[in-house]
A = this chain, B = another copy of it.
Amino acid sequence: MSKWYIDKGDLGDVVLSTRIRLARNIDEYPFPGHLDAKGKEKVSELVKNVLIGKENPFDLMAVKLEDLSSVQIVSLAEKHLISPEFTGPAQGRMLLISKDEGVSIMLCEEDHIRLQVMKPGLAPLEAYELADKIDTFLDSRLNYAFDERLGYLTQCPTNLGTAMRASVMLHLPALTRTGKLSQLSATVSKLGLTIRGAYGEGTGPRGDIYQLSNQITLGITEKAAIDNLRAITLQIVSQERQLAAELVKNPEFADKIYRAYGVLSSARLLSSDEFFELISLIRMGAANELIPIDIEKINELIVNMQPATINANRGETLDARQRDVLRAELVREAIRPQ
């Protein structure tokens, strides 16, 4: 089954993906931070048994984090299927995941339940609808910690209210290279959103990929938060497209894009950093019809060329040098003209 992230969705030249994340806790249990391994395991098993019983309405698989190698766990984080935080102590933690990796539910991360739905391109409503369906199913079978005034109770007070984080992953090479990103960042923060590196707080951008997400969860409905994210995303897409179209008309810049293609189609050693630097240029070239490669193929490379994911896909633990050789080989094959 092909993974959700290799499709190109709506506005896919700029919007790589949309994610809806809901945080939920069960009233009878303390937050995971106050549970020992046994307690976490109990909560994880409880939720798993609700979702995957005799029936499995959302077609999920359950994975105990303890059963995974550290390479597999880091690869899940690289693919945004789990949070960086979830790569920590594994005891009692569980992941429920769909075959296309579009639904991923972390059990006993910061909250008991962290439900994520991911879709290619800009699709916050579509993602929310599926998340809401799973949430409604759980709600009817579990006793959620909920307060009339504060909404869903969560470990971190910034999540109180809807406890929903809606975000899009954006490829913004033109805004980045024209130095307009800090200005954009200031603007969106006034509108209740935040833009940061693809791996969340404190991470820098890699391959000019950013995550734009809503910050406010209290005193706002899910629908309003999604509409807000959608509207601002549309504006950013329009800015990025316009700047990119101008940039690629500049012969020096076009030359940079073509050279990036030349290097990726020829190199025999390719570090992760260089790969992200060059693939960003190539993605921009593809989106603007300079380079004849499908955006889907590029998206797949962006996911699969990450260090731990290379190892996880390969089923062995290569060192950095061996990965650089393999990365160069896989990239050459992928972008070779058909």
Contacts and interface: CB of A to CB of B under 8 A. Distances in A.
**Interface SS majority for chain A:** helix
The copy count of this chain in the complex is 2
A262 B336 CA distance: 12
Interface residues of A, number: 17
A251 interface: yes
Contacts of A264: 262
A259 B270 CA distance: 11
Contacts of A252: 269
A255 interface: yes
A181 interface: no
A262 B265 CA distance: 6
Contacts of A267: 255, 258-259, 262
A293 to B, nearest CB: 13
Contact of A265 (B255, B266, B269): B266
A263 B258 CA distance: 8
Nearest to A321: B251
Interface in A228-284: 251-252, 254-255, 258-259, 261-269
A207 to B, nearest CB: 19
Interface of A: 251-252, 254-255, 258-259, 261-269, 325, 328
Given A251-B269, A259-B263, A262-B266, 11 more contacts: A251-B268, A251-B325, A255-B269, A258-B266, A258-B268, A261-B266, A262-B263, A262-B264, A262-B265, A265-B265, A265-B266
